[in-house]
Structure 1
Amino acid sequence: MTNRHDFTARIEWTGNRGTGTSGYRAYDRTWRVTTPGKPPIDCSNDPALGGDPARHNPEDMLLSALSACHMLWFLHLASDAGITVTAYRDEPLGVGESEASGAGRFTAAVLRPEIVLADPADAARVDAIHGEIHKVCFIARSVAFPVRVEATYL
């Protein structure tokens, strides 16, 4: 038996400068994400495509969601295994490609977590946990590109 989970958000374009999409350069690629009961996130397009580099873009958000989902499952499974994690930080890398038409996609992602273990001898056991996460992580199970983990333990 599976349980259904519904997720909602409101995406609202905020880039109308007064003339709408009357011309390709006549509007901003900005929008706001809101979800019930949470602070809004002001977003933009990838700067390479005319977006505001100070705002999150869809690619940032997808990569961050993938990394966060991995981290949360990692912490859960480590705790279940009796392994104490005292710090976790990731600087993931998303690899994408764009075609001449402008169509793009992620071709791979590399998660690069730096994890502090209470007992450094747990590093070998922890490596095995990373391999289990992609069987259960909601986001990792939903993407159509390979995800590799290159963890280091401190």
Structure 2
Amino acid sequence: MPNLSTKEHDFTAQILWTGNTGRGTESYRAYERTWQVQTPGKPVIHCSNDPMLGGDPTLHNPEDMLLSALSACHMLWYLHLASEAEVVVTGYQDAPIGRGETAPNGAGRFLSATLRPKITLAPGSDPAVADALHGRIHEVCFIARSVAFPVSYDATYSFAAA
């Protein structure tokens, strides 16, 4: 039974396996680990498995996409909270790192993720207030609230030229 104070909603995607080389999954090496995300009205995303598992290193893999989603969700909430706190952000970029492990049987998982945003603030913005906003994001970010591994941040700040 849903909580009456919350609102449920659905998210959708369409995944199409493109790796059938003509033999299907006849053997482990008979197929490619490629697929497309084909969500109506949006650009197609060409994907592959992690290169450690035989995937194409030039394509996004599920781990890339999870880490990117986590970083993007954090950024969007950060920008929202910054605007409410009157912290003027003029630039934001992130190079997150996800740490994973693979068991001998091939099962893998994320152990942690560290977001490393480089944030440019307008002159007069308080960097202490800007930094404190990160601690509030885990209360609201859909992705961060959904993952089963710790997420930390190591932000750096600079000021835009006046």
Task: State the TM-score bracket (shorter-chain normalisation).
Answer: over 0.9
User: Residue 75 of structure 1 is aligned with which of 76, 79, 87?
Assistant: 79
User: Residue 131 of structure 2 is aligned with which of 124, 127, 135?
Assistant: 127
Q: TM-score, with normalisation over the residues of structure 2?
A: 0.93
Call closer, same or farther: CA 1:47–1:153 in 2, change over 3 Å: same
Query: 1: CA distance between counterparts of 2:68 and 2:87?
Result: 24
User: Residue 7 of structure 2 is aligned with which of 3, 8, 21?
Assistant: 3
- AA paired with 2:94? D
Task: Kindly indicate whether residue 151 of structure 2 is the aligned counterpart of residue 111 of structure 1.
Answer: no
Gaps of 5+ in 1: none
| Structure 1 residue 6 displacement after superposition | 0.7
Show the counterpart of 1:147.
Answer: 151
Query: 1: CA distance between counterparts of 2:38 and 2:47?
Result: 11
Once the two structures are superposed, the pairs formed by residues 2-151 of structure 1 within 5 Å of their partners are 2-119=6-123, 121-151=125-155
DSSP 3-state at the match of 1:91: coil
Question: How many residue pairs get matched?
Answer: 154
- AA paired with 2:30? A
- AA paired with 1:146? P
Query: 1: CA distance between counterparts of 2:144 and 2:9?
Result: 16
Moved over 4 A (4+): none
Query: 1: CA distance between counterparts of 2:13 and 2:50?
Result: 20
Deviations 1:111-132 (A, max 9, x none): 0000000036511001110000
User: Is the contact between residue 15 and residue 37 of structure 2 (CA under 8 Å) also seen in structure 1?
Assistant: yes
Call closer, same or farther: CA 1:46–1:120 in 2, change over 3 Å: farther
Q: TM-score, with normalisation over the residues of structure 1?
A: 0.98
DSSP 3-state at the match of 1:132: helix
CA RMSD of aligned residues (A): 0.8
Query: 2: CA distance between counterparts of 1:120 and 1:102?
Result: 51
